[in-house]
Chains A and B, each alone.
Chain A
Amino acid sequence: MALRFEPALESIAAAPIAAHYDHFIDGAWTQSTGGERFATIDPANETELSRVACGTGEDIARAVAAARTATSTWGRMPGRERAIYLYRIARAITERSREFAVLETRDGGKPIAESRDFDIPTAAAHFFYYAGWADKLAYALPGTAAPAPLGVVGAIVPWNFPLLMAAWKIAPALACGNTIVLKPAETTPLTALRLADVIADAGLPAGTVNIVTGDGATGAALVAAEVDKIAFTGSTAVGKGIARAIAGTKKRATLELGGKAANIVFADAARDEAIDGIVNAIYFNQGHVCCAGSRLLVEERAHDDIVARLTERLRTLRLGQPLDKNTDIGAINSREQYDRIVALVQSGIDDGATLVQAPCAIPERGFFYPPSFFTGAAPTQRIVREEIFGPVLTILTFRTAAEAIEKANATPYGLSAGVWTSDGAKARFVAARLRAGVVWCNTFNRFDASAAFGGYRESGYGREGGPSGLHGYLSA
């Protein structure tokens, strides 16, 4: 007989959503000077969740001015005192984790199991981790007498890990004594706005953290404003625009951009474990992961077996309502992203690659895309070159380690890579030759607040996480 699952929906009662939200500037909810709002929707059913303020250049200027004023309190506070506030924020996120998880899942479409077990706890972990550094900054930059904060940081974060990406920037920036203006992504502003409550409750001096919602124009206004640094996570195209915009100014930047990571599977890898790793690498968060293992390189003699096992494994993935605790694959974040995935997959079909898709039922409403992979792709095709940012894997083959390394590095990106083998020496040999900021061996998409993360080449520069994550927020 077949094992059935009834819907096991997480309650939404824990996370009430207001009909509309303003900006959080200088410690208070502040109406936009433009007065315009835009809707944020639940991508699993296309219904409106709330309307948020569309930040204008004037809103940004007010927020940056508030942040500038706050540098005189927050920036001069002893590190051990700043740590107290950071610990408070970390504890509050942990205590309100269910509320944050439900909000993240409704606003962004990711499965509740992921927001509950990954996004929210990891966000809290970054505050806990950097709280511990706040009074030890001299040790982060050995040889420096007194590392100083930069001043005001403009942080622009994407929609794939909304709260977590905000935490990656806010936690180290605050630990180092900077103040912040955060611009959440247009489609996923709700957890950042809830974080404003946490920050207000924690009693940080007014203006230390300001949150201005909006679209690309709001982000551009922040880049142009009187900030000392831009911390950006998002697409390579926007990242390049930021680098151009701040060229010749004293503004610093850390850019965490796109990727097209190679995930290299040797024939001597533990096969089922490698399949789990492949699934995690590309289908985690519907593939909306900048470091996703989207180019699978399989040793030629294992190719057919890996494809057969992967095809079978797709059968067990449960696509559906993100709030269902059994859901493995949730909703695509927006119609725009859905359309982009559909177009890129069509280009793969047109180019002659073979498409395999999980045989799962697709809900009638909402943006859902089945876990998919291509075999028989050629290195010149768009599905091999371009970041799809969806649950679509491209499989290529190689015969020797040297060929695997060459193919893996044949990309303008360099954010992450994976190596699967039961031969430890081979794993080290290959990992050392991959030009990527993170190389995972026999695992993928593992993150820890104490480990540095960041890219090479068109995947950006600067590191987040670990002691190196402090460097982008301090001046020596």
Chain B
Amino acid sequence: MLAPHAPVDAAAIRARADGFASRSIKADAKRAAIDLAIRCVDLTTLEGRDTPERVRSLCGRARNPGSGAPSVAAVCVYPTLVATATAALRGTDVLVASVAGAFPSSLSSLAVKSADVEAALAAGADEIDMVIDRGAFLAGDEATVIAEIRTLKAMCGPIHLKVILEIGELGSLQAVRRASDIALAAGADTIKTSTGKIGENATLAGTLVMAEAIRDFARATGERRGLKVAGGIRTTKTAFAYLVLVDEILGDAWLDPHAFRIGASSLLDDLVMQRERAATGRYASTESLPKD
């Protein structure tokens, strides 16, 4: 069910978004929020120089981030490294997510994208992070965008499909709203802000527009679809602003790794440091943190 055109006022959206960053979370509430954020992390490595050894190391940190912190939601890797991650995480609750479908540009044939998703699924991926064809979207060819999401979702079956909108390339918050509505109608289990591969990553304003689309979709259909923010979220303070956004726009039911994820790599270090600071009153040395 594709929602009717919903106007978006960029200035007002930005004003509201700024407000999320001004909330102050202290003391016990801070400790609880840090653990929630850790549990929502998709610990990510998407570099051309990734190796099996690096992915195994990352998986170790995903299971046990250190200092008694809970494990993260998932690790997110390229398809060729899914098997390595799956093996490293066997017997844990940590899921393996794979980007697939001509990530990050999406500029390839549907046949190639399908084969990519097929390979990731065959290697044991629990979740797929695909990207929409921004070229088709910006050219007004929404049918192609919808058809691709539908095709890949059909291949995934019960496997969780996250659809990356790459909001930094959509040109306006109005377009972010439209892309969100399209992806949700086409069957995205989660809509995700960014690939992390271009200059402009997740923003509070873009995420607010996406969260509103998810909330309106839930109102219309009763279905809870997920939200994932990714790219450029490096500090606990920034992560908290997103938690406040989810709390105020979507509510308690979304403050859970099943419905909200933060795709990040260096963020986990800061969360663990802040966790230790909250527990002991001291900051750990950055040198004492494990490196992948």
**A-contacting 9-mer, from B25-33, B87-95, B147-155:** B25-33
CA distance A25 to B16 in the complex (A): 44
Q: Would you call A8 an interface residue if the criterion is a C-beta within 8 Å of the partner chain's C-beta atoms?
A: yes
Interface residues of A in 283-327 (CB under 8 A from B): 316, 325-326
Q: Would you call B244 an interface residue if the criterion is a C-beta within 8 Å of the partner chain's C-beta atoms?
A: yes
CA distance A475 to B40 in the complex (A): 66
Judging by beta carbons under 8 Å apart, are A442 and B11 in contact? yes
Residue B243 contacts which of A3, A6, A271 (CB distance < 8 angstroms)?
Answer: A3
Instruction: Please tell me the number of chain B residues within 8 Å of chain A, measured between CB atoms.
Output: 30
Judging by beta carbons under 8 Å apart, are B29 and A6 in contact? yes
CA distance A4 to B247 in the complex (A): 10
**B-contacting 9-mer, from A13-21, A179-187, A272-280:** A272-280
Residues of B within 8 A of A8 (CB): 24-26
Indicate whether A326 sits within 8 Å of B9 (C-beta atoms), given known contacts A3-B244, A6-B28, A276-B15. no
Count chain B CB atoms within 10 A of each CB in A269, A272, A276 and give the residue with the most.
A272
Nearest CB to that of A268 among chain B residues?
B7
Chain A interface, >50% SS class = loop
> Per-residue CB proximity of B217-256 to A under 8 Å, as 1/0?
0000000000000000000000000011011100010011
Q: Measured between C-beta atoms, what is the minimum distance from A283 to chain B in Å?
A: 13
CA distance A7 to B28 in the complex (A): 10
Q: Would you call B197 an interface residue if the criterion is a C-beta within 8 Å of the partner chain's C-beta atoms?
A: no
Count chain A CB atoms within 10 A of each CB in B12, B30, B32, B244 and give the residue with the most.
B12
Residues of A within 8 A of B9 (CB): 270, 273, 422, 442
Residues of A within 8 A of B28 (CB): 4, 6
Nearest CB to that of A316 among chain B residues?
B248
Residues of A within 8 A of B7 (CB): 268-271, 422
Indicate whether A1 sits within 8 Å of B255 (C-beta atoms), given known contacts A270-B8, A273-B9, A442-B12. yes
Q: Would you call B22 an interface residue if the criterion is a C-beta within 8 Å of the partner chain's C-beta atoms?
A: yes
Judging by beta carbons under 8 Å apart, are A2 and B252 in contact? yes
Judging by beta carbons under 8 Å apart, are B252 and A1 in contact? yes
Judging by beta carbons under 8 Å apart, are B36 and A6 in contact? no
Judging by beta carbons under 8 Å apart, are A443 and B12 in contact? yes
Residues of B within 8 A of A273 (CB): 8-9, 12-13, 16
Interface residues of A in 238-279 (CB under 8 A from B): 268-273, 276-277
Q: Would you call B142 an interface residue if the criterion is a C-beta within 8 Å of the partner chain's C-beta atoms?
A: no
CA distance A271 to B244 in the complex (A): 20
Q: Measured between C-beta atoms, what is the minimum distance from A121 to chain B in Å?
A: 14
Q: Would you call A113 an interface residue if the criterion is a C-beta within 8 Å of the partner chain's C-beta atoms?
A: yes
Q: Measured between C-beta atoms, what is the minimum distance from A385 to chain B in Å?
A: 30
Q: Would you call B169 an interface residue if the criterion is a C-beta within 8 Å of the partner chain's C-beta atoms?
A: no
Count chain B CB atoms within 10 A of each CB in A1, A3, A8, A316 and give the residue with the most.
A3
Residue B12 contacts which of A6, A113, A277 (CB distance < 8 angstroms)?
Answer: A277
Judging by beta carbons under 8 Å apart, are B36 and A1 in contact? yes
Indicate whether A6 sits within 8 Å of B25 (C-beta atoms), given known contacts A270-B7, A273-B8, A316-B248. yes
Judging by beta carbons under 8 Å apart, are A113 and B22 in contact? yes
Q: Would you call B111 an interface residue if the criterion is a C-beta within 8 Å of the partner chain's C-beta atoms?
A: no
Nearest CB to that of B36 among chain A residues?
A1
> Per-residue CB proximity of B155-198 to A under 8 Å, as 1/0?
00000000000000000000000000000000000000000000
Q: Measured between C-beta atoms, what is the minimum distance from B200 to chain A in Å?
A: 22
Judging by beta carbons under 8 Å apart, are A4 and B29 in contact? yes
Judging by beta carbons under 8 Å apart, are A326 and B23 in contact? yes
CA distance A443 to B25 in the complex (A): 28
> Per-residue CB proximity of B198-227 to A under 8 Å, as 1/0?
000000000000001000000000000000
Interface residues of A in 370-422 (CB under 8 A from B): 422
B interface residues with partner A (beta carbon < 8 Å): 6-9, 11-13, 15-16, 22-30, 32-33, 36, 212, 243-244, 246-248, 252, 255-256
* 6 more CB-based (< 8 A) A-B contacts, given A1-B256, A2-B247, A326-B23: A1-B32, A3-B36, A3-B247, A4-B32, A270-B6, A316-B248
